[in-house]
Amino acid sequence: MEIAIGVGKVLVGKIIKALINRVKKINANLSEEFKIRGRDMRICCPDSIQTYSVSFESKGVPFFTKKRKFKFGKVRRVSLRSVQALQTISKAIDIVEDGFEINLKFLQPGELYILDIEYLIDDPNFIDSLVYRKVTRDIPKEKKKEYWMTAQLKHLDVLKQDFGFIELRDLDLNVNVGVHQDISLKIPGAFKKQLETVSKLLKPIGRGMTFELYSRLLHQQKSKFGGKEYEILRNLQDLFVPYEFKRYLDVKYDFTYSNCFRGTEYYDLLPFPTWPKFMNIISRTDLNFDKPAANGLLIFKRKDFIVDIAKIFE
Amino acid sequence: MWIGKNMEINEEIFIPQYSLQGEDIPINLTWQRDIYLKIKIIFPEEITIKEIYNVEETGVKIENNSILILEKFEVNGYVSIILGTKLYSESVVHENIKFIFIINDEIKSIEKEIELFRPEIKLIHKPTRIEIYFDEHNKLSFTDKIKIKNVGCGTALLSLKIEENSDLKKYDPLGIEEFTLKFWEDLDKKLIPLKKSYPEYSDLITDYARYGKEPISFDPEGMKRIKEVFQRLTDILKENSSFLEEFAKAIVSSYVKCISIITEVESFIAYLKSSWAGRILLFDAVKLFRIIPESSNILEAKLTRTDLARNLYEPLNISDLQFITDKECCIPLYSIFEFFGEEEEEAEEKEVI
């Protein structure tokens, strides 16, 4: 039996080392003018962003320079806050091509500040090399619509640094919840037949056939769905709007609901993406050194969904 | 919680209760970080250990291909394991995995069960001849149908692959055919500048466009193509957000431009006809066969199938099936089938509504 042990650790270690080196350079630069009080580093998923926060205060003497330059790579976002005033001092930060600069004239000696810096982690495989994510692709019984999800760190020791632990935030997991069976089996047969007649009438057909189809449609129009075809279809479509569909979802244990949208798998796009066979549900979780694995459950409240489909046809 | 020699280990084991056969199964174990122990995992022969994380290489031992012994954890208190499963001959099996925690001479054992399932499509009835009749309102009726049942668990994806020697070929109904043609024609044009901007993805873009135009089939070749195109596409879209934006823009604008060709009603009918009892998804469900009087009208086809884990199954033969009519007609692909699910599920469906 071929077992892969600790695969990807070299890659992850290399990337984290590069992230830490950058942080060390920031600290060394800051230390020339300030006393560093606290540090924290997070990796924000799914965009793979390194967020470094450092709190510092001036050494109580006038600053040596007017500007401190931190040219250690392109930044995504930088913000500086005064802890006392709880205000962001946007004037103090200049983003430049290969980093950022702090304009010291906007800082007061003796005051405590927090600097938050965001860098994009270039390697697209970084998160997948660090965390194993898995959800169930299908469920055994239609009546029990519970989808399990798990995110488990592959490498734990790499998160331990001299300033503390690197955290992983908002790690996303996607579950495909099947809805096709509920829609197709719950639509009343009379409505299906009515739609088929309407559809045939929209196509070029012979005169005799048109008469027959109109007669059939006139007969069908006497049913309670008569003349309401488009309204019913609109109402059905509304069920798949994220705001509506989330009512049928319950995310449990270590995960929280984030968003949902119409499925994007190959079997969902054909023939038309307008009517989803699956809804794609995104749930999120955080992982860190003390919580290396997150396990959860996504429950699709199918009975509620079915009841709401039935209400459309009442 | 287990207390051994005045120590609380606070162990937690995650193993899913169910999974599709052929899929990987994740397991994670945590226990109190200051307690050093050895873990023995006894698993069935059908299951393989694929990956282990947070254990030193010298701390992993396998005995008799079915016992995994772990010690020397890189950070104590946690281990992550990925198991591999295969397709079983039965559509539902229950496997037991035993976890034994060992501290010196004390042991605690916990057994967990996992249900491994898959759909199982059975061809219950395959007629050799289907006669088509028309009633006074010109409605079609059939003397017989191909009967298909999903006797397993899970969703089955089916696609009818027409053989070259078949008299009957499938084609798109009016409206949908026009939409499909115009959509891919328009998208083709929009993808040309994208190929120029991203020459490194040019082959993939061409493959994607080809995928949309060709009929889908769940045979090894077809599945390999789907897997390759969609996997590569997913990887690239993940790593290149500007390409993702431009690619999505091209698809959406072609879709919006052509959607007026087909009506919402037609697209909804196509949707309904693709989903059947027994969690069966039928591809190309609204495609048509043209049946001509006094013609042999023999259908030679293979019903290719897969599941949501993209497992491959042997195709079912739908060969030498003759259609008889005295009036030329077009019959939709779905209409020659009758699908069944498990009775208990169907009964439950009725009860809910």
Extents of the domains making up chain A:
9-120, 131-183+234-312, 189-224
Classify residue B218 by its DSSP letter.
-
Q: What is the pLDDT of residues A47-74, one digit of tens each?
A: 899 999 999 998 777 776 788 999 999 9
State the pLDDT at residue A216: 63
B278 to chain A: nearest residue by CA? A181
Mean pLDDT is highest, among A116-130, B221-235, B238-252, for A116-130
Show residues of chain A in contact with B264, CB under 8 Å. 230, 233, 274
Least confident among A128-142, A152-166, B2-16, B112-126:
B2-16
State the pLDDT at residue B353: 36
Q: Is the dihedral of CA B106, B110, B111, B116 positive or negative?
A: negative
Length, in residues, of chain A: 314
Buried b (16+ CB within 10 A) or exposed e, B278-304: bbbbbbbbbbbbbbeeeeebebbbbbb
Plot region of A138 (φ>0 → left; ψ -120 to 50 → alpha; else → beta): beta
Q: What is the pLDDT of residues A100-153, one digit of tens each?
A: 999 998 998 888 999 999 999 988 889 999 999 999 999 997 667 999 999 999
Rounded average pLDDT over A177-182: 90
Burial group, residue A64, by CB count within 10 angstroms (0-12, 13-18, 19+) = exposed
Which of B138, B174, B265 comes nearest A198 by C-beta? B265
State the pLDDT at residue B115: 96
State the pLDDT at residue B84: 97
Tokens for B90? 């039965």
Q: How many angstroms separate the CA of residue B52 from the nearest CA in chain A?
A: 5
Tokens for A280? 């794609």
Least confident among A99-113, B44-58, B205-219, B274-288:
B205-219
Where is pLDDT greater, at A164 or B185?
A164
Instruction: Check A186 against B353: CB less than 8 A apart.
Output: yes
Instruction: Check A185 against B65: CB less than 8 A apart.
Output: no
Q: How many angstroms separate the CA of residue A128 from the nearest CA in chain B?
A: 11
Q: How many angstroms separate the CA of residue A67 from the nearest CA in chain B?
A: 34
State the pLDDT at residue B347: 47
Does position B172 have pLDDT exceeding 90, yes or no? Answer: no
Percent share of chain B, pLDDT over 90: 54
Mean pLDDT of chain B: 85
Show residues of chain A in contact with B150, CB under 8 Å. none
Instruction: Check A124 against B153: CB less than 8 A apart.
Output: no
Burial group, residue A11, by CB count within 10 angstroms (0-12, 13-18, 19+) = middle
Indicate which of A76, A134, A142, A191 best probes the interface with B, i.e. most B CBs within 10 Å of its own CB. A142
Which of A5, A136, A192 comes nearest B55 by C-beta? A5
Which of B28, B230, B264 comes nearest A233 by C-beta? B264
CA B43 to chain centre: 26
Show residues of chain A in contact with B216, CB under 8 Å. 266, 270
Q: How confident is the model at residue B344 (pLDDT cuts 50, 70, 90)?
A: very low
Where is pLDDT greater, at A186 or A253?
A253
Q: How confident is the model at residue B244 (pLDDT cuts 50, 70, 90)?
A: confident
Indicate which of B10, B21, B28 best probes the interface with A, i.e. most A CBs within 10 Å of its own CB. B28
Kindly report, as residue ranges, where domains of CATH 2.60.40.1290 are found in chain B.
3-117
Amino acid, res. B161: K
Which of A5, A6, A306 comes nearest B352 by C-beta? A306
Write the ipTM. 0.89
Q: How confident is the model at residue A266 (pLDDT cuts 50, 70, 90)?
A: low
Least confident among A71-85, A187-201, A205-219, B162-176:
A205-219
Mean pLDDT of chain A: 87
Rounded average pLDDT over A12-16: 94
Rounded average pLDDT over B10-32: 96
Show residues of chain B in contact with A183, CB under 8 Å. 271-272, 275
State the pLDDT at residue A49: 95
Percent share of chain A, pLDDT over 90: 60
CA B283 to chain centre: 12
Tokens for B98? 């035993």
Q: Is the Cβ–Cβ distance between B59 and B31 less than 8 Å?
A: no
CA A238 to chain centre: 22
Q: How confident is the model at residue B194 (pLDDT cuts 50, 70, 90)?
A: confident
Does position B170 have pLDDT exceeding 70, yes or no? Answer: yes
Does position B351 have pLDDT exceeding 60, yes or no? Answer: no
Instruction: Check B271 against A272: CB less than 8 A apart.
Output: yes
Does position B101 have pLDDT exceeding 90, yes or no? Answer: yes
Show residues of chain B in contact with A148, CB under 8 Å. 16-18
**Residues 6+ away with beta carbon under 8 Å from B140:** B132, B133, B134, B329, B331, B335
Q: What architecture does CATH give domain A9-120?
A: Sandwich (2.60)
Classify residue A45 by its DSSP letter.
T
Least confident among A115-129, A142-156, A182-196, A241-255:
A182-196
Q: What is the pTM of this model?
A: 0.85
**Residues 6+ away with beta carbon under 8 Å from B307:** A138, B20, B118, B119, B154, B155, B156, B157, B313
> Which stretch of DSSP H or E encloses residue B114?
strand B106-117
Burial group, residue A257, by CB count within 10 angstroms (0-12, 13-18, 19+) = middle
Q: What is the pLDDT of residues A276-287, one digit of tens each?
A: 889 999 999 999
Does position A221 have pLDDT exceeding 80, yes or no? Answer: no
Instruction: Check A1 against B48: CB less than 8 A apart.
Output: yes
A310 to chain B: nearest residue by CA? B353
State the pLDDT at residue B261: 56
Rounded average pLDDT over B228-233: 75
Does position A222 have pLDDT exceeding 90, yes or no? Answer: no
CB atoms within 10 A of CB A57: 17
Does position B349 have pLDDT exceeding 60, yes or no? Answer: no
Does position B258 have pLDDT exceeding 70, yes or no? Answer: no
Instruction: Check B276 against A184: CB less than 8 A apart.
Output: yes
Rounded average pLDDT over B119-129: 96
Q: Which CATH class is domain B3-117?
A: mainly beta
State the pLDDT at residue B105: 81
How far is the CA of A122 from the CAs of A47, A98, A155, A166, in angstroms?
A: 10, 15, 19, 18
Does position B350 have pLDDT exceeding 70, yes or no? Answer: no
